Structure 1
């Protein structure tokens, strides 16, 4: 869809469709129609499966690897997230240090930070035009309670040796970087922004070029263990694999072994029409870094390469029974109103810029707010639960899964989120009730910071 068509179609009502999908059209590949036998089968066509296949092929080019994907490669969260490439593992750094200690948190952040650099190199090497911009991003505060959170994060970063170059910037300093009247303080963090859809599609093309078979429009309807391997049933054929990787993230609960290990929650974003040169000149934002507001329910904003403003975040929603239906949930008028308020609060000069797109997508949440990557026995592997911060961590997880599949011990296989004993969510309706209660508590803490422990 062209920019002109999109803007005209959304003059009064935004499209409830993923914006990124307009930036590169996709024609899904043909479904699998013949039985096959292979070394490794990966279920899910997102970042986790694709990076794992990529690193396996680099290590062992002779492996016969097949990926099955119900839609097209990157159709899920990999291709429709908000494009922040961050070193964050799970929810936040303080939780990680408290639960796993300084040394393990430091190693994990070091390796995920390395992944950010390698992602930039990957795009250059394979000429993937994904608008990968390594300008970093800001964690911002709009009140004293959020400033206190930033100070706490700086102290923790210093404990793990990651504070070099980090400093708390005041209101006047931030006005020189982002001219938003709402920002009172900020810390600039290493990271990047990217068009996630074009990144995952480029990655899929690279993986295909390595000889990996990606079967799109091919859902896994059943998995059965046999001997030392697995049989994966699809609507028209079966795959027999010696090793199996389940990498479906928010859909992971559909496999019995992981039924209560992860829940999908709905997070929302909105995108404006392209900002004209005159509009852009109304706000001082010279380096175009994105920013994320400190809090339990973060809000964030960034500019796209097409000069659109993307805003997102706010309260998330869990739908009873792990309902992931886009038809029922992609449009959320209440979430759109919140995002309109976010835009007006941070950018009053752009308060009347219309949204052309407003949409939701599912984020995979684990009970402990950390990813889960590992193995069940010798031949079943998994990776999921990135809690909304998956672009860099999935790259790291691909190396973890490579080493686990090949039977190697490495710094990756010893990471804090690998082969952990997982806490499970309760059965329904208790998960729904608990999710509602936790959401209310977190929202109350954001409004009244002294309520309970964060």
Structure 2
């Protein structure tokens, strides 16, 4: 899940917009900033999925709670509103790493909880009349090489250990291409999940939450946080919020607060969207159920159709910028990244290689040292959640339940999931963080190119 909003600029001479495609599907007029001091039970910094789901579950558990959410831009402006719309059960980076670190039993419980969230998310959209363009067909994890087929086989073995249904199997080239008619696919495994329009989901969730009485203050950045005998005081440009309990829910921006400076880093990822495909172009590829697909590897690439029949490609090698640079101007339009995605398009769908991109953009994925998310408490009425590693749509729904129980002091299955109260290793200070990230990225890229030379699972 990416977590920064590109600049709202115009188009270049090529006609390609360097801005988020999803934003064109529903206009946004941000709400007014907070102008008056308030006192409340819970203050949440950040206005994305984590904040909104947590507020939703808190209000359901205790309708008397006074909750205020502070968002620097507009609710869903970050990763929540412009990720790539894959609703996945994945926790962290990979199933293998999770089982290795936490064991089969704890991984099984966590995956069951996130799987339940996928189902509940769909029901929520129906009940709240949110047109998030939810497509329940799921997606395929695909292999383009023999070595990637081995990765799929490994994941199938792990899934079986977690109790996956017996019908989960590896589709060979012929059967895989009957599902997605791409000459680049050599094998595939169907994964439970869905596709959505992330921007519409975020804005619909905002409307549902505010209807329950939660106050959401857009255009209201949190400038400082101070803990006093009377509570936690958050200073904004025009007013202060005093709260008994405080939640940091800013994901890739989390490092901007001193407590999390070295706990989470923003890593850049890129995406590109084509113009709508014509009926003739769509007819050139057999893709009956419109499932998305994700290529197996450390640095994944993925593709999907939008509700408007645009083709969206994303992923590739991720980059960490020196000193956690999230400046849009220097990172939004990376020709090399766009060219790489054009190459992916040509490899998977050569019949569409000349279909022009209308949008290219970049954003940040929040990564932790362990490459798993972290949810927890600081011990003084402050709580946090960050590091979804690009797989946060369903996981933030689950995280909202975990945070609800932590904030209310409940000891439940959700407050004891494997990503709650886990030990966090800090990233080294600069310039070691930058140098280390570059070295790790190079090794992971080399493993993708030559998997037989580096057989150890690195992340």
| Fold similarity call, TM over 0.5 | yes
Partner of 2:6: none
The separation in 1 between residues aligned to 2:341 and 2:165, in whole angstroms, is: 32
Q: Does residue 97 in structure 1 map to residue 99 in structure 2?
A: yes
Q: Is the 8 A contact 2:373 2:389 kept in 1?
A: yes
Q: Determine which of 120, 125, 130 is the counterpart of 1:123.
A: 125
The separation in 2 between residues aligned to 1:344 and 1:113, in whole angstroms, is: 33
- The CA deviation at 1:371 is 0.3
Q: Determine which of 308, 315, 331 is the counterpart of 2:317.
A: 315
The separation in 1 between residues aligned to 2:165 and 2:102, in whole angstroms, is: 19
Q: What's the CA shift string for 1:402-446, capped at 9, x where partnerless?
A: 000111011001100101110110000000000100110000000
The separation in 2 between residues aligned to 1:445 and 1:401, in whole angstroms, is: 36
Q: 1:69 to 1:9 in 2, by over 3 A?
A: closer
> What are the ranges of 5 or more consecutive residues in structure 1 without an aligned counterpart?
1-7
The separation in 1 between residues aligned to 2:396 and 2:11, in whole angstroms, is: 36
Partner of 1:296: 298
The separation in 2 between residues aligned to 1:140 and 1:15, in whole angstroms, is: 29
- The CA deviation at 1:65 is 0.2
Q: Is the 8 A contact 2:11 2:18 kept in 1?
A: no
- TM-score, length-normalised on structure 1? 0.97
Partner of 2:438: 436
Q: Which runs of 4+ in 1 moved over 4 A?
A: 8-11
- The CA deviation at 1:199 is 0.1
- The CA deviation at 1:229 is 2.1
Partner of 2:406: 404
The separation in 1 between residues aligned to 2:285 and 2:110, in whole angstroms, is: 37
The separation in 1 between residues aligned to 2:187 and 2:130, in whole angstroms, is: 35
Partner of 1:60: 62
Q: Determine which of 25, 28, 32 is the counterpart of 1:26.
A: 28
Q: Determine which of 228, 231, 244 is the counterpart of 1:229.
A: 231
Q: What's the CA shift string for 1:195-253, capped at 9, x where partnerless?
A: 00000100000000000000000000000011262000001100000000000000000
**What's the secondary structure of 1:180's corresponding residue?**
coil
More displaced stretch, 357-366 vs 11-20: 11-20
Partner of 2:389: 387
The separation in 2 between residues aligned to 1:357 and 1:11, in whole angstroms, is: 13
> What are the ranges of 5 or more consecutive residues in structure 2 without an aligned counterpart?
1-9
- TM-score, length-normalised on structure 2? 0.96
**What's the secondary structure of 1:71's corresponding residue?**
coil
Q: Determine which of 243, 247, 251 is the counterpart of 1:245.
A: 247
Partner of 1:107: 109
Q: What's the CA shift string for 1:149-197, capped at 9, x where partnerless?
A: 0000000001111243210000110121111001000000100000000
- The CA deviation at 1:451 is 3.0
Partner of 1:198: 200
Q: How many residues align?
A: 447
**What's the secondary structure of 1:78's corresponding residue?**
helix
Partner of 1:341: 343
- The CA deviation at 1:381 is 0.4
Residues 323-338 of structure 1 mapped to structure 2, 5 A cutoff:
323-338=325-340
Q: Is the 8 A contact 1:297 1:313 kept in 2?
A: yes
The separation in 2 between residues aligned to 1:163 and 1:295, in whole angstroms, is: 24
Q: Does residue 185 in structure 1 map to residue 187 in structure 2?
A: yes
The separation in 1 between residues aligned to 2:241 and 2:174, in whole angstroms, is: 60
Partner of 1:277: 279
The separation in 2 between residues aligned to 1:372 and 1:365, in whole angstroms, is: 10
